[in-house]
Chains A and B, each alone.
Chain A
């Protein structure tokens, strides 16, 4: 007898842990964000038959502070209009980790009904067949390419089908420090428009002490000065819309990179790298601390300046172009998607539709950012704000990054080509030819 009790304890321990392990892996237990966690499947089924049961729609997001408050308002407004649908917000941190969570959830066949999703990734996820095609539902709800700015619509579509509802957006402009302008005798109300003016201003603003910059006027590739920003400003294009092929070696994009390279040479690239490599953020941001006089950045910087240095005397103006006219920029932003495998597509779409129209867009972007609907931005009063109006007014002409399955590869390749060229590691042309070849080769397997 004594012996059997001796075995009882370890048996119990192992039995308990194994059962815990087993339940942790089984799909029937409620785990965070599981779609069937709070909705007994019977009610979901009855609802599809037109029953009166409530459906709970789960949405994964990475929103915090003001954005989360706004989203809660959206949910409230939506539920008031759709009493049979409950929206359950589940926070999944907003970084790479969130992507991996979604990835494994989709791969495991237990995704949320809706996910807050970077539009930039629509191409790659749609190519993997992991997003629900929204085209028919959108057409039925009157959502079409005229609903949004052109780039926002284009970025939500892959191969002619709509996979996402765009939410907010951004744009990139040249920020310049008006006090610095005054100090060196430049007109603070007449910022540079052409490249020649930009170069001249930059030269005047730079104060160099040996290898060290006490202050630098401008660095083309700093902050948001991606090759995308310059390539489009030079009038180039990165994709042939008719064939879908990548054209990173478009002569005008090559010109843009050549100009960036030459600009860097003038100030000694190694010294610039020393400046940019560990440039601070927030209150230590070089533009806020006055270490750089001009930079290309996005509208989120406006909030940062308000927070960390409200009295900074600055202005914004479109990214200078070779001719001093035909200004453009590029925009990204977030969206909502319905992952493949969602069990509540109908009610989930209702929520997407709500957010895709004025009321939802207004609630979501209030005090926080720009909407993809022009009338909503007007309602926010952005068009009367000296700074914000510049960001909003350029949106109709803004670009979106090519929607391809290899968007991330193209991004990394362009970034690395920019870095190599500006560090004189191969000419701009050589580097961009290589990017074009690499990405097009990677795209081949999707066209089989």
Chain B
């Protein structure tokens, strides 16, 4: 240390000094990051690699189990509930992600208008995201109660016989998608930031060319919003595949009715912690990882065709 400190007083060449200070900031940076890095290795990296190994065993948490090669994977492919949970999860993702992007962008554009009291509207749309998921589940169960719920009550008052919502096999997932749209506030905030980033000059130029609102949206707003849409698409897809809290709470972990609400992560949890099949659950986790990874890669590859970064 002392030697290092002394050497600084010597006239070193600017390049060497730069290198040295660079090295020093590096050390400081790493020192600050070390607790996090240690935690990452301890609590993420090691368990992750351990679970690869476990997925080839009959590990039960309480017993080490034995090595069974690809048996877990074979069993999974013969497990009807595994396929059902994949179907449910993909169904949810395919509908929820595009719908949430559409509504998110639309809402953000509305909340970007220069209207009096806009701050209040923005707050109102962000508020639902602050409600804990479990409380949200209970609230919606009431709203959607087939016989006594507010939603069907309103429908009845205009003469429509409402659907069974969460009680019907065909209706349970659409109900969940509807409920999940409540959590759109986060995405809207990000879209708003994206909208704020679009320079006014573009709109002025478009107006001089006589563009109407629709043309401005199509040629200026949406293309310049694509990086943000891209971000939300990736995060939304990953999130949709990890759907757990809402359906778990609403169905008390049972995925009722008729397993139409058994999502992939729910079934994984059931296997790992209730049937003591941690090896099986680990295999499921890695299959999920591969699916999500592949989808994310696809989105990234496709992004070159439709995402526009300003100034490029």
Tell whether A and B belong to one assembly. Answer: yes
Chain B residues closer than 8 Å to A129, beta-carbon distance: 62-63
Contact between chains at A277 and B166 (CB < 8 Å)? yes
**Complex CA–CA separation, A278 to B137 (angstroms):** 11
A273 CB → nearest B CB, Å:
4
In the complex, whether A128 has a CB less than 8 A from a CB of chain B is yes
Contact between chains at B62 and A445 (CB < 8 Å)? no
In the complex, whether B301 has a CB less than 8 A from a CB of chain A is no
Chain A residues closer than 8 Å to B253, beta-carbon distance: 96
A20 CB → nearest B CB, Å:
8
Chain A residues closer than 8 Å to B295, beta-carbon distance: none
Q: Given A100-B273, A275-B147, decide whether A445 and B4 contact each other with a Cβ distance below 8 A.
A: no
Chain A residues closer than 8 Å to B270, beta-carbon distance: 412
**Complex CA–CA separation, A103 to B281 (angstroms):** 16
Chain B residues closer than 8 Å to A125, beta-carbon distance: 62
Chain A residues closer than 8 Å to B161, beta-carbon distance: 210-212
Partner of B39, one of A21, A100, A409: A21
CB contact list, B140-160 vs A, under 8 A: 141-142, 144-149
CB contact list, A270-315 vs B, under 8 A: 270, 273-278, 280, 291
B125 CB → nearest A CB, Å:
26
Partner of A277, one of B4, B165, B273, B275: B165
Closest Cβ neighbor of A4 among chain B residues: B1
Chain A residues closer than 8 Å to B149, beta-carbon distance: 278
Contact between chains at A3 and B8 (CB < 8 Å)? yes
Contact between chains at A212 and B5 (CB < 8 Å)? no
Partner of A423, one of B61, B142, B258: B258
Partner of A10, one of B31, B146, B166, B276: B31
**Complex CA–CA separation, A273 to B166 (angstroms):** 9
In the complex, whether B237 has a CB less than 8 A from a CB of chain A is no
Chain A residues closer than 8 Å to B148, beta-carbon distance: 280
Contact between chains at B146 and A275 (CB < 8 Å)? yes
Partner of A273, one of B27, B60, B61, B257: B257
Chain B residues closer than 8 Å to A270, beta-carbon distance: 164, 168
Interface size on B, residues (CB 8 A): 46
Chain A residues closer than 8 Å to B32, beta-carbon distance: 10, 13-14
Q: Given A3-B8, A129-B62, A412-B254, decide whether A10 and B35 contact each other with a Cβ distance below 8 A.
A: no
Chain B residues closer than 8 Å to A275, beta-carbon distance: 146-147, 167
Contact between chains at A14 and B34 (CB < 8 Å)? yes
A199 CB → nearest B CB, Å:
23
A190 CB → nearest B CB, Å:
30
**Complex CA–CA separation, A273 to B149 (angstroms):** 14
Contact between chains at B2 and A4 (CB < 8 Å)? yes
Q: How many CB-defined contacts (below 8 Å) exist between A and B?
A: 122
Chain A residues closer than 8 Å to B60, beta-carbon distance: 128
**Complex CA–CA separation, A16 to B42 (angstroms):** 17
Chain B residues closer than 8 Å to A18, beta-carbon distance: 34-35, 38
Contact between chains at B4 and A99 (CB < 8 Å)? no
In the complex, whether B24 has a CB less than 8 A from a CB of chain A is yes
B108 CB → nearest A CB, Å:
33
A293 CB → nearest B CB, Å:
15
In the complex, whether A107 has a CB less than 8 A from a CB of chain B is yes
In the complex, whether A6 has a CB less than 8 A from a CB of chain B is yes
User: Digit string of A1-29 for contact with B (CB within 8 Å is 1, else 0)?
Assistant: 11110110011011001100100010000
Contact between chains at B34 and A273 (CB < 8 Å)? no
Partner of A11, one of B24, B31, B61, B275: B31
In the complex, whether A416 has a CB less than 8 A from a CB of chain B is yes
User: Digit string of A126-166 for contact with B (CB within 8 Å is 1, else 0)?
Assistant: 00111000000000000000000000000000000000000
Contact between chains at A25 and B28 (CB < 8 Å)? no
Closest Cβ neighbor of B6 among chain A residues: A1
Chain B residues closer than 8 Å to A437, beta-carbon distance: none
**Complex CA–CA separation, A52 to B211 (angstroms):** 93
Contact between chains at B167 and A274 (CB < 8 Å)? yes
**Which 6 A/B pairs are nearest by Cβ-Cβ distance?**
A277-B167, A274-B146, A17-B35, A10-B31, A128-B62, A274-B164
Given contacts A274-B146, A280-B145, A423-B257, 4 further A-B contacts (CB under 8 A): A128-B62, A273-B146, A277-B256, A416-B258
Q: Can you name 23 A-B pairs with beta carbons within 8 Å? A: A3-B1, A6-B28, A7-B31, A13-B31, A14-B31, A17-B35, A100-B273, A106-B62, A107-B61, A128-B62, A128-B63, A128-B276, A212-B147, A270-B164, A270-B168, A273-B164, A274-B146, A277-B165, A278-B144, A278-B149, A416-B259, A419-B256, A445-B58
**B residues at A contact (CB < 8 Å):** 1-2, 4-5, 8, 24, 27-28, 31-32, 34-35, 38-39, 42, 58, 60-63, 141-142, 144-149, 161, 164-169, 253-254, 256-259, 270, 273-276
